[in-house]
Amino acid sequence: MKANKILVNCPGCGKKIEYGATEFSPFCSRSCKMKDLVSWANEDYVIVSDQMNDDDETIKNDEDGDKLKYN
């Protein structure tokens, strides 16, 4: 019996790939995986939570809707 293939979009470029078909899954390539890692390291991505600690930064939107961080 064959297992069903699960197709997903690469989070980096959007290319359709079979999940688990590459060592970089869910990314289609090392390049897409590394671009994502760099985006996290540059803090291009932010996980916003309703719960804040005293050490957390306050995140607000500016007039254009871009997120700004305040200490």
Cα(58)–Cα(70) distance, integer angstroms: 5
Query: Backbone phi, then psi, for 40, in 5-degree steps?
Result: -65, -45
Alpha-carbon span 1 to 7, nearest angstrom: 19
- pLDDT tens-digit profile of 16-33? 999 999 899 999 999 999
Please count the CA atoms within 13 angstroms of the CA of 4 that sit on its side-chain side.
3
Q: Which fold has domain 7-70?
A: Erythroid Transcription Factor GATA-1; Chain A (3.30.50)
Report which of residues 3 and 31 the model is more confident about: 31
Question: What is the reported pTM?
Answer: 0.60
Higher pLDDT, 69 or 19: 19
Q: Cite the DSSP H helix spans in the chain.
A: 30-41
Is pLDDT above 70 for 66? no
Q: How far apart are the first and last CA of the chain?
A: 57
